[in-house]
Chains A and B, each alone.
Chain A
Amino acid sequence: MRFSGTTVVVTGASRGIGRSIALAFAAEGAKVACVATKVENAQGTVDAIVAAGGEAKPYGLDVSDSAAVAEVFAQIEGDLGTVGVLVNNAGLTRDTLMMRMKDEDWDRVIDVNLKGAYLTTKAVMKGMMKARTGRIVNISSVVGVHGSAGQVNYSASKAGLLGLTKSVAKELGSRGITCNAIAPGFIETDMTHDLSEDFKARAIADAPAGRLGKPEDIAAAVLFLAAPESGFITGQCLEVDGGLFL
């Protein structure tokens, strides 16, 4: 199995893309730390992994809380060993046109989606540097690359992740650590559930693939970038969107 014995941390692992990523790593032999805002929300993913014969533990964490991140990541390393793969997937939306956006909506989205990745990455750096290997995969978004009306906060946070990705790649490249991003298109999850049917129909019509994405489509790309043999790929953003913007 591709990730036997590797400790993998997935944030936002309770549902959607994060859950799918956690399941995919576990199926390849990884020890998976499933991180969610509340530990009971991560438990469902852990139960599914354990039922399938895998190894996982649930952790409750607000990724924007610096002290809590340090504490929980120390606990993860104690429980499962040095982190070999970090997947920064935790994210939320507070969509509205900028004219109507509240400052709190901006702050919260930037705090969780961008600062969260900064804090968790910082927490795993030391161990990865010592190990002289590591994989960091940040879940950005096509709207971080292309923009999106009604999502200045979300798209700015996702574009910010791309800058973070490239800078971390430069800082840690000499230590065998890669940092890449994935920009999912429209994926069928709770986050996109509320989009109008009309919007979804257009997204399907615009994508050469002719369908919305599945969380498993993103998980496959994450595992590819996290694999030991992908060590020469770093600082990149892989758009996994069915060709939406071609």
Chain B
Amino acid sequence: MSATVFERVRKVTCEELGVTETEVEMDKSFQEDLGADSLDVVELVMALEEEFGVEIPDDDVANMKTVGDAVTYIESKN
């Protein structure tokens, strides 16, 4: 299960941030490692909401720093 969520998060991250799959690892920070600015993060979150059919409130976005944070959050929602 976990791999599936990670793979989908990775796919969305690659599409939104223009990075390659090998760069997207669980401990990578969207902003510090993957070059996202604040607007990129908003777009990424919107894309994740669409991909997983969940709503991610702003307060939760603030704690979603890494790929792993996003995976854990989405798993907790499903």
B41 to chain A, nearest CB (A): 12
Given the complex of chains A and B, what is the CA–CA distance between A172 and B43 in angstroms?
12
A38 at the interface (CB under 8 A from B): no
Report if A122 contacts B (CB, 8 A).
no
The residue in chain B whose Cβ has the minimal distance to the Cβ of A173 is: B39
How far apart are the CA atoms of A171 and B42 in the complex, in Å?
Answer: 12
Q: Once bound together, how far apart are the Cα atoms of A108 and B27, in whole Å? A: 50
Q: How far is the CB of A8 from chain B (nearest CB, A)?
A: 24
Which residues from A are CB-within-8-Å of B39?
A: 129, 171-172, 174-175
Does residue A2 face the partner (Cβ distance < 8 Å to B)? no
Q: Is the CB of B46 within 8 A of A126?
A: yes
Size bracket of the A interface = under 10
In the docked arrangement, what's the CA distance between A126 and B46, Å? 9
| C-alpha spacing A194/B37, complex, angstroms | 50
Query: Bound state CA distance, A129 and B37, in angstroms?
Result: 14
Are the C-beta atoms of A174 and B43 separated by less than 8 Å?
no
Residues of A within 8 A of B37 (CB): 174
**Residue ID in chain A nearest B37 by CB atoms:** A174
Contacts of B46 in A (CB 8 A): 126
A122 to chain B, nearest CB (A): 12
**Which residues of the partner chain A approach B43 to less than 8 Å between Cβ atoms?**
129
Q: In the complex, what distance in Å separates the CA atom of A171 from the CA atom of B40?
A: 11
Complex Cα distance A174/B46, Å? 17
Chain B residues within 8 Å of A174, by CB: 37, 39
CB distance from B57 to the nearest CB of A (A): 16
When each residue 29-65 of chain B gets 1 if its CB lies under 8 Å from chain A and 0 otherwise, what string results?
0000000010100010010000000000000000000
Which B-chain residue is minimally distant from A129 (CB atoms)? B43
A45 to chain B, nearest CB (A): 33
Give Cα A171 to B37, complex, Å: 11
- Min CB gap A135→B, angstroms: 18
**How far, in Å, is B17 (CB) from chain A's closest CB?**
13
A70 to B: closest C-beta gap in Å: 14
Taking CB as reference atom, which chain A residue is nearest B38?
A171
| Smallest CB-CB A-B distances: 6 pairs | A129-B43, A174-B39, A126-B46, A171-B39, A175-B39, A174-B37
A contact residues vs B (CB 8 Å cutoff) = 126, 129, 171-172, 174-175
| B residues adjacent to A (C-beta < 8 A) | 37, 39, 43, 46
A-B contact pairs, 8 of them (CB 8 A): A126-B46, A129-B39, A129-B43, A171-B39, A172-B39, A174-B37, A174-B39, A175-B39
List 5 extra interface pairs beyond A171-B39, A174-B39, A175-B39, CB under 8 A: A126-B46, A129-B39, A129-B43, A172-B39, A174-B37
